Structure 1
Amino acid sequence: MNKSKTFDYFNKVANTWLEDLEEKNEEDILINPFEGSWSISELYDHIIKVARTYQIPNFKKSVTTEVERKKRKNIKGLVIFNVGIKKINMKIKMENFPKPLVKDFTPIKQNKTELIKDFKQFINEVNSLKETLLKSKRKNKHYHLMFGDINTKDWFTLIAFHMAHHEKQKKKINEFLKSR
């Protein structure tokens, strides 16, 4: 996927998520449908938090002198970013991440108005990265815990792929809400 298509893909996914959120009522977004599961509000908050605290800062670092290179891109990274498989059946437990990331990634509940405002702001923040994305080079890489050294385009792609990764979870929550 070229850089412009990567950008368009993010907007397609993000706008679908925004439309879905806008259709929900206040009560539904706060319901935890299953023991130990997140509400819609928490799921969206998690997507935003991971992007703001991890993906976007590392995207930005990949084009600076602050880059950290540790290991070549691994097989997971190659499958996701080079082959383009967007959805991998992979259970990722936040407890397995370093403690500061767990704290940064743990969601909170927001009311619908706040969440929509925050999600729209998130979309705008990601869209503001377009120029950096288009100007980046393949050699601009920064280390990712699960994928190894990935380039700027991969870091950007990860934002949309993270939403795709949680699509199944969102669908389960939506099915529960419809069945009530």
Structure 2
Amino acid sequence: MRQLNYSELIDLYKINLQQYSIDQLRHVSEQGVWSLGQMYDHMILTALDYLDQVQRCASMSEVQLQGKTEAGDQLFCAGSFPPIKIRLPDGPENTPSNSETVDDLIRGLETVLQRMYEWEENLNAINPNYKVRHEGFGWLNAREWFVLVGMHFRHHLRQKAELEQKLEF
């Protein structure tokens, strides 16, 4: 089965998003589990952060020869996050908003998509040795940060399906 590219993935998320009522979007099934809205907010904010790192790489002038961590090597070798649940540390910085509307989230996804289109055209011009450190994956260049956006959206498809199962349509 062909893997969806980032544009197809974001379009899929946008289409699915329009099916939820505001109550479904904000429904928290149990303590410690995000709502669909929180998952979408997390994905948007993470994607925008990753794209900010692409920008940082593009604006550098100093080569970074350090590489990825073992986890980073495994991630990029596999081309995807492992099929496991990854729990972020508790804290306000890791608790996505549960007050966004469908329209807010669609606008956020469209912003991500627009920025990805803009960067995709320019990735080849960025020195692959200009890198920014990711806390878990090590030193990533602009293309790797860019690819990480799509990997992250694909990773959350399983969570989206699980959260949807807990809703009544």
TM-score normalised over the length of structure 1: 0.79
- Residue 25 of structure 2 contacts residue 37 of structure 2 at CA under 8 Å; is this kept in 1? yes
Q: Cα distance, 1:44 vs. partner?
A: 0.6
**Which secondary structure does the structure 1 equivalent of 2:96 belong to?**
coil
Residues 119-156 of structure 1 deviation map (CA, whole Å, 9 limit, x = unaligned): 22222222222222232233232211111111211100
Residue aligning to 1:106 = 95
- Is 1:89 matched up with 2:60? no
- Is 1:19 matched up with 2:8? no
Letter in structure 2 aligned against 1:94: L
Residue aligning to 1:136 = 126
Q: How many aligned positions are there? A: 166
Tell which deviates more after alignment, 105-114 or 169-178: 105-114
| Structure 1: stretches of 5+ with no match in the other structure | 1-5
Q: 1:59 to 1:77 in 2, by over 3 A?
A: same
Q: What is the RMSD of the two structures over their aligned residues, measured on CA atoms?
A: 2.6
Residue aligning to 2:55 = 60
Residue aligning to 2:67 = 72
Write the distance in 2 (CA, Å) between the matches of 1:66 and 1:94: 33
TM-score normalised over the length of structure 2: 0.83
Residue aligning to 2:28 = 32
| Structure 2: stretches of 5+ with no match in the other structure | none
What fraction of aligned residue pairs are identical, expressed as a percent?
20
